[in-house]
């Protein structure tokens, strides 16, 4: 693995190996024998807000021996219009890896190409691969795995989260039922390229939740869409609440990548009832990303 740009680009074996490593690193926290990032500086270039991703990467890089350098877009020349490929060619000569949160997936792809250093997608409009690795680790820990389990995603059917979940379903083969309002469903051309009969799309949240062991949701308006109030109106009836969960399988878990808007995509009661799982999911960002950092790092000086 040279970069982590998407779940789409990962193979099945790469995903499961990362999860195995994440579980091991979680066990070994505080006593890591190896410090693979010793002597290295990793840049975190963020164009959007972040709590979990920023903190988990800064802590994870330090715990693996490296030094994180946080660069907010508006504090570097990127914010004044310096092209991403020029930023990449400069940083590629100075730092050892980069973690990027931005809008356009192509910016992450270009950064990886022009910098030549390991590059991690920390969320774009297309994908949120680090989050999905943490989510899968949580499903493994809570339910033992995803084999023969139905996973439901209730919300925006073409957000970064759903796209990454759909690619995870393609790679790992679990049943994924996505419920989204008609105007927020993935386009036919995306579904054709996904080519995954185990992924189904419906406009009925109750249908997706029927018999599901994992119920996943996310904000209705992703970062950058906050003023799309018309879009938000389409989600009436899509709140994950007690009434909707009545149809879920016994022993089901609820996931939310956070931050959550209580009273919109999830009720206060459901979030608090499932807080143990949801905050374990947030913690797993740290462990999953350490596995990614270990898989991508190259020896210092290279």
Q: For binding to ligand NVA (CB under 6 A), which residues are involved? A: 123, 128, 159-161, 218-219, 222-223, 257
Least distance in angstroms from the C-beta of 58 to ligand NVA: 17
Residue nearest to ligand NVA (CB): 222
Q: 215: which strand partners?
A: 152, 254
**CB closest to ligand CP, residue no:** 53
Q: Which is nearer to ligand NVA, 64 or 257 (CB)?
A: 257
Task: Spell out the residues 6+ positions from residue 283 whose beta carbon is closer than 8 angstroms to its own.
Answer: none
Residue (219 or 255) nearer to ligand NVA, CB: 219
Q: Which is nearer to ligand CP, 137 or 201 (CB)?
A: 137
Residue 218, binding choice from ligand CP, ligand NVA, none, Cβ under 5 to 8 Å by partner class:
ligand NVA
Distance, in Å, from the CA atom of 179 to the CA atom of 128, rounded to the nearest integer, reads: 19
Least Å distance, CB 104 to ligand NVA, is 13
**CA 19 to centroid of chain Cα atoms:** 14
Residue 51 binding result from ligand NVA, ligand CP, none, given CB thresholds of 5 to 8 Å by partner type: ligand CP
How many whole angstroms separate alpha carbon 108 and alpha carbon 8?
Answer: 14
Q: Which is nearer to ligand CP, 50 or 121 (CB)?
A: 50
What is d(CA 161, CA 56) in angstroms, rounded to the nearest whole number? 18
**CA atoms lying within 13 Å on the CB side of residue 52:** 23
166 binds, among ligand CP, ligand NVA, none (CB under 5 to 8 A by kind): none
Three-class SS state of 188? helix
Residue 297 binds which of ligand CP, ligand NVA, none (CB < 5-8 A, kind-dependent): none
Picking from 93, 43, 100, the residue whose alpha carbon sits closest to that of residue 66 is: 43
Catalytic residues: 101, 128, 131, 218, 257, 285
Contact positions toward ligand CP, by CB under 6 A? 50-53, 123, 131, 257-259
Least separation in angstroms between residue 49's CB and ligand NVA is 9
The answer to whether 196 and 169 have CB atoms below 8 angstroms apart is: yes
Which residues have a Cβ under 8 Å from the Cβ of 189 and sit 6 or more positions away?
none
């Amino acid at each position: 693995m040279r970069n982590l740009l998407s779940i789409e680009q990962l193979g099945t074996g790469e995903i499961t190996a990362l999860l195995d490593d994440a579980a091991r690193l979680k066990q070994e926290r505080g006593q890591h024998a190896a410090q693979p990032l010793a002597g290295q500086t990793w840049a975190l270039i963020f164009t959007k807000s972040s709590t979990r991703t920023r903190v988990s990467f800064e802590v994870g890089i330090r715990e693996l021996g490296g030094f994180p350098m946080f660069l907010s877009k508006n504090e570097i020349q990127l914010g004044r219009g310096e092209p991403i490929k020029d930023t990449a060619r400069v940083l590629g000569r100075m730092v050892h890896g980069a973690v990027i949160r931005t809008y356009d997936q192509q910016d992450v792809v270009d950064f990886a190409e022009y910098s030549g250093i390991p590059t991690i997608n920390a969320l774009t409009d297309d994908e949120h691969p680090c989050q999905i690795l943490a989510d899968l680790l949580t499903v493994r820990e809570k339910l033992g795995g995803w084999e023969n389990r139905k996973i439901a995603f209730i919300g925006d059917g073409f957000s970064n989260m759903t796209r990454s979940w759909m690619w995870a379903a393609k790679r790992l083969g679990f049943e994924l039922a996505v419920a989204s309002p008609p105007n927020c469903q993935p386009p036919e051309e995306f579904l054709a390229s996904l080519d995954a009969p185990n992924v189904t799309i419906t406009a009925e949240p109750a249908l997706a939740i029927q018999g599901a062991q994992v119920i996943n949701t996310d904000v209705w308006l992703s970062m950058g869409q906050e003023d799309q109030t018309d879009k938000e109106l389409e989600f009436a009836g899509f709140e994950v609440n007690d009434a909707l969960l009545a149809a879920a399988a016994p022993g089901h878990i609820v996931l939310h990548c956070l931050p959550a808007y209580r009273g919109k995509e999830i009720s206060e009661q459901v979030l608090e009832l499932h807080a143990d799982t949801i905050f374990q999911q947030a913690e797993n960002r740290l462990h999953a990303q350490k596995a990614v950092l270990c898989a991508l790092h190259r020896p210092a000086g290279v």
